[in-house]
Amino acid sequence: MTGEKDASDTKEHVIPGTEKKFTGEDVEGYDFRGDFDMTEMLEKYSTTGFQATHLKEAIELVKEMRDEDCKIFLTFTSNIISSGLREVVAYLARKDYVDVMITSAGSHTEDIIKANDDFKMGEWEADEAELREEGINRLGNIYVESDHYVWLESWLNDDFFEDFFSDEKIRTPSDLAYELGEAVGEDEDLDESDSFIYHAANNDIPVYCPAMIDAEIGDFMFYYRQEQDEDIGIEILDDWDSLINEAIGAEKTAIISVGDGVPKHQAIMSNLFRGGTDYAVYISTGMEGDGSLSGAPPKEAVSWGKIKENTKNYTQVEAEATLVFPLLVAEAFKKYNP
């Protein structure tokens, strides 16, 4: 055929060779021969590659946060409490390992419900209309009966709201979280053992919730104001003042962000007032390409001054939190005692 070249002439394109050797560590995973050791396996994550390496970086950064006695801001979205990660967050609060919590209103709702009754494992694939008729709400593969929310409204109206608003009509979300935690502990019918909101209150860990109305507790306060006391309200600016002062009053700060959205942003934004946080670890499934805060990686926060520019003071684990957060807590908190 006219113009045909010898195939050997293409080798320089397919196998160009290496002009300069790269001197990085060898890629090597855990050797499962012999007795199994979880800590050794996680050590090998550093040379496993992909998100395993980022998780090992996150573990080391959290250890460094603790070594440096940083004020640790833990942020998490409400689905974390919907899942079995509630027990992990409760452990951190029970042991007083974190100093500030920032979350969304569903965390309060579902933490209190779980103190009364359990959520159930369901299926991802379901007839949604049928579940609606049966009074079952689906959170992924976790099912929550609507009766749980009926109970919660009754508990709030009968046992909580009147006392909470009796002395002051306008309260803050952190007030609400603290007194909900106390109320859970005082109610003999509730199991506070794995309630993060109870352990936070017990250890004076403030729980901030900028979007307090964005869950059933907000719905029930709406009805309570309509039907019981039109003068009540939730004021968020006082909490913003307090949260900023949590940051600027600390010698060093660190952020562990489990999930994205408003909780993550309130943590990094409050640290902007002190020139940025010293350390940050994100566990995220957010997509950077849409330009959202949820998808923004830590390096973007450096451009805003929300994370200090420093070599290896932040990382992001691009993974679903139930897979990696327990491993992070096991290695950087449970097994590590600085």
- Residue 221 near residue 213, CB atoms below 8 Å: yes
170 pLDDT more than 90: yes
- Residue 236 near residue 212, CB atoms below 8 Å: yes
Query: What is the reported pLDDT for 184?
Result: 98
CA 133 to chain centre: 32
7 pLDDT more than 80: no
pLDDT in tens, 227-255: 999 999 999 999 999 999 999 999 999 99
Query: What is the reported pLDDT for 167?
Result: 87
pLDDT in tens, 12-37: 788 888 888 888 899 999 999 999 99
Query: What is the reported pLDDT for 14?
Result: 82
Smallest CA-to-CA distance from 135 within 152, 121, 115, 149 is with 149
- Confidence bin at 206 (pLDDT 50/70/90): very high
- Residue 314 near residue 50, CB atoms below 8 Å: no
Query: What is the reported pLDDT for 276?
Result: 97
Helix or strand holding residue 91 (H, E): helix 86-94
Question: What percentage of the chain reaches a pLDDT higher than 90?
Answer: 90
Query: What is the reported pLDDT for 255?
Result: 98
pLDDT in tens, 49-103: 999 999 999 999 999 999 999 999 999 999 999 999 999 999 999 999 999 999 9
SS3 annotation, 65-119:
HHHCCCEEEEEECHHHHHCCCHHHHHHHHHCCCCCEEEECHHHHHHHHHHHHCCC
* Beta bridge pairs of residue 282: 257, 316
Smallest CA-to-CA distance from 107 within 240, 223, 222, 212 is with 212
**Strand duo 279-284 + 253-258: pairing:** parallel
Fill in the amino acid letter for 134.
E
User: In whole angstroms, what is the distance from residue 248 CA to residue 300 CA?
Assistant: 21
User: In whole angstroms, what is the distance from residue 256 CA to residue 2 CA?
Assistant: 64
Mean pLDDT for the stretch of residues 121-133: 96
Catalytically active residues are: 306
Mean pLDDT for the stretch of residues 117-131: 96
pLDDT in tens, 254-282: 999 999 999 999 999 999 999 999 999 99
- Give me the domains of the chain, ranges plus CATH numbers: 61-117+148-334 (3.40.910.10)
Query: What is the reported pLDDT for 18?
Result: 83
Tokens at 316, concatenated: 């992001």
User: Number of helices and strands (H, E) in the chain?
Assistant: 16, 11
* Beta bridge pairs of residue 191: none
pLDDT in tens, 295-311: 999 989 999 999 998 87
The per-residue pLDDT of the chain, averaged, comes to 95
